[in-house]
Amino acid sequence: MAKNNRRHGVFAVDQRFADVALNSNEDRRDSLTIEKALNIIFRQMEITGSRPRTIESYSYVFNDFVEHTGLIYVEEINADSIYDYLNDINVAKTTKLLRLKTIKAVLSRFFDNRWVEYKFWKNIQIKIDKQVKPAAKESDIEVLLKLIDRSTFIGFRDTVAILLMYKTGIRIRTLGELRERHIDFDNKMLNLEGAVLKNHDYLKLPIDEQLAEMLQTLILQNAKIRRKYKKRHDYVFITQNGLGINRSDSSSNAISKQLSKYAKLYGLKNINAHAIRRAFAKNLLNKGASVALISKALGHQDLSTTTQYLDLNKEEVANSLRDYL
């Protein structure tokens, strides 16, 4: 009798809804797991030339997000889960912003693979007061170049590196990846392929006669050191043991460490690779270059990044605008 009540009484469930629930479970079994999705996009990133550090960073942040939220399937990710994660983690706002950018980058790859239908994360923002890092002063760079002992290999190498960063604006990481084939001495040009640039785009940057001669001298000195230590490569900037200056697991390299040492030794403020790159941008602006041109030279994909580099104060903006009245 009880069995009959379950079928026809108050406890009975319409068979149509029972079938729907069953089908829902079957669909869930066929859903794409986040773990599998991450494995796919990381493989895609490896194939397209993304750096190991970038992939490791994506993996760390997104797996931390998944662990905090307990999500399993891609279809479970929504705006609320992202807000919950950002609210739960006890880190500085700047760190939250970096993690949000990473989550958005991964989700954009999910979108490109058509695993999500729309970019629900697009309007999620974290507002912080950005501290603009100032450019190195031209006078400080000049003082530094005078104080470095260029009679030694390390001193000469560092001088060439500083001048190259100041006159072309290339990043410290790109400096370490620079090969002899990237320098066109006939046309006084750096031809930088995407593999050595952060945005993976192609970039051409001019160099002057003085810098070209110094680079040629450095390359000849490098050849002697490589022969001594039996190294086979064509890096332009190497250590005194004939190795490349970049380390795969860090943005720091031998040149950046030398800059820190010089700053302390000579009491110079704001002498580092990033400040020198900003000095390049500010120098171009002072010579009349447009923000769009400077942005191209820096390899930026967004003009807003370039304007932050230039760190224009209100007086500079007002005076510049006056020329167009």
pLDDT (tens digit per residue) in 232-250 = 999 999 999 999 998 755 5
Q: What is the DSSP letter of 73?
A: B
Share of the chain above pLDDT 70, in %: 82
How far does CA 17 lie from the centroid of its chain? 51
Q: Tell me which of 247 and 295 has the higher pLDDT.
A: 295
pLDDT (tens digit per residue) in 76-106 = 999 999 999 999 999 888 889 999 999 999 9
Q: What number does CATH give the domain 22-112? A: 1.10.150
Q: Measured between alpha carbons, how far is residue 24 from residues 18, 29, 31, 144, 255 in Å?
A: 10, 9, 11, 68, 58
Burial of 267 (0-12, 13-18, 19+ CB in 10 A): exposed
Secondary-structure class of domain 138-322 per CATH: mainly alpha
Residue for token digits 């030279």? 297
Q: What is the DSSP letter of 86?
A: H
How far does CA 325 lie from the centroid of its chain? 39
Q: Indicate if the alpha-carbon torsion angle 53, 273, 275, 324 is positive or negative.
A: negative
Of the pLDDT bands very low, low, confident and very high (cuts 50, 70, 90), residue 224 is very high
Three-state SS sequence of 101-121: HHHHHHHHHHHHCCCCCCCCC
pLDDT (tens digit per residue) in 100-131 = 999 999 999 999 999 999 999 999 988 766 66
Per-residue pLDDT at 50 exceeds 70: yes
Of the pLDDT bands very low, low, confident and very high (cuts 50, 70, 90), residue 324 is low
Give residues with Cβ within 8 angstroms of 300, minimum separation 6.
199, 306, 309
pLDDT (tens digit per residue) in 153-180 = 999 999 999 999 999 999 998 999 999 9
Spans of all domains in the chain: 22-112, 138-322
Question: Mean of the pLDDT values across residues 53-70?
Answer: 93
Question: Mean of the pLDDT values across residues 290-303?
Answer: 84
In total, the chain counts a number of residues equal to: 325
pLDDT (tens digit per residue) in 266-279 = 999 889 999 999 99
CB 262 within 8 A of CB 146: no
Residue for token digits 């250590």? 239
- Asked if domains 22-112 and 138-322 share a fold, the reply is no
* CA–CA separation, 325 and 320 (whole Å): 10
Q: Tell me which of 306 and 316 has the higher pLDDT.
A: 306
Q: Which of 34, 25, 29 is nearest to 70 (CA)?
A: 34
Per-residue pLDDT at 18 exceeds 80: no
CB 246 within 8 A of CB 255: no
Amino acid of residue 130: K
Residue for token digits 């290999």? 153
Q: Which of 93, 38, 44 is nearest to 71 (CA)?
A: 38
